[in-house]
Structure 1
């Protein structure tokens, strides 16, 4: 083999070795890059998953809060409806009271309205109560109160209770007027009775 061949072979051998080394280095760098990218991708996936979990938890919390708020709102609505039904039922009972009960209530209202009043008063009754008023009711009422009372021969535009007029002052003792005047108190009282067990259970759980 000539010197030229030896030199040529050496060059080829060195070139092959250099190429193999470069390929190996390139493969190693590629592997390291891949591992870094894979690690970064894994970290990013973990971050995204954690962020998604947080967002899901926030969404769940918001959904639960909204559901609780809606449930509470519906509960309040139902409680209010139940209280209103009880008030309407109480009104119905008043309207349908017996003659004795109705005129006992009227006597009590007139007496309380005219405490300390000495001017003559006019009593207005419903059409139904005018028809069933006990005899001597006005005379006895005036005597008990100590005030002159005149019965209006025109019925009032209501179905129970009464209206008392004394000069320019009017005392409205009809169920609708009394309910309007004491609505908050009535609602609180009825609510306390209806939902007393619920309040007790809340106290025992706290």
Structure 2
């Protein structure tokens, strides 16, 4: 029986040694797995933090860019309104011209044009107060052979200036049209004067 006890003892001893070896290996494997997973988690955490920082920076840049664009557009819109106001004031100032200056404007403008001389002069209500048949006769005398201009009976629906009309064709010398035609040339210069 002693052999059986020895054998049992040896088996138990071997089993205990194997158990310790297996447990040590399992502990080592467990630690390797935990370390590996911890490293993966740290890499993932770092990656996620970097990605979040990048997304945050990109989003911040987009928001700032959008805000800058909005401010720029509002600034351009405001500048456009100021420029519109300047040109509208120019028309208004021309409309405030005294009668003598208005007559000189009409006369010099008509005499500078290459016209046939039998056009109708269309005026607004204020223009009709300043320009009469006697004044038109004066212009016709200076036009000599081409001098057959007439005052139109119709009243123009414009703020100031005049229109020469013949057979439905108009030469537009209204203040609105003159300022508008100059606006394209002067807008950049006016903007520089106003905003620089």
Structure 2: 5+ residue stretches without partners: none
- Inter-partner Cα distance in structure 1 for 2:175 and 2:116: 26
Whole-Å separation in 2 of the counterparts to 1:34 and 1:95: 90
TM-score (norm 1): 0.79
- 2:169 & 2:112 partners in 1: Cα distance? 14
Q: How many residues align?
A: 194
Task: Give the superposition deviation at 1:23.
Answer: 0.8
Q: Which digits, 9 at most, give the CA deviation of each residue in 1:19-64, with x for residues without a partner?
A: 1121111011100111111111111222222222222222222222
Distance 1:2 1:118 in 2: 148
Q: Which consecutive unaligned segments of at least 5 residues does structure 1 have?
A: 198-206
- Partner of 1:62, secondary structure, is helix
Say if 1:76 and 1:112 are closer, same or farther in 2 by CA, change over 3 A. Answer: same
CA contact (8 A) 2:133 2:151 kept: no
Partners of 1:156 and 1:171 lie apart in 2 by 13
CA distance in 2, matches of 1:193, 1:143: 43
- 2-side partners of 1:180 and 1:128: how far apart? 21
Match of 1:201 in 2: none
> Aligned-residue CA RMSD in angstroms?
2.6
1-structure distance, mates of 2:159, 2:80: 25
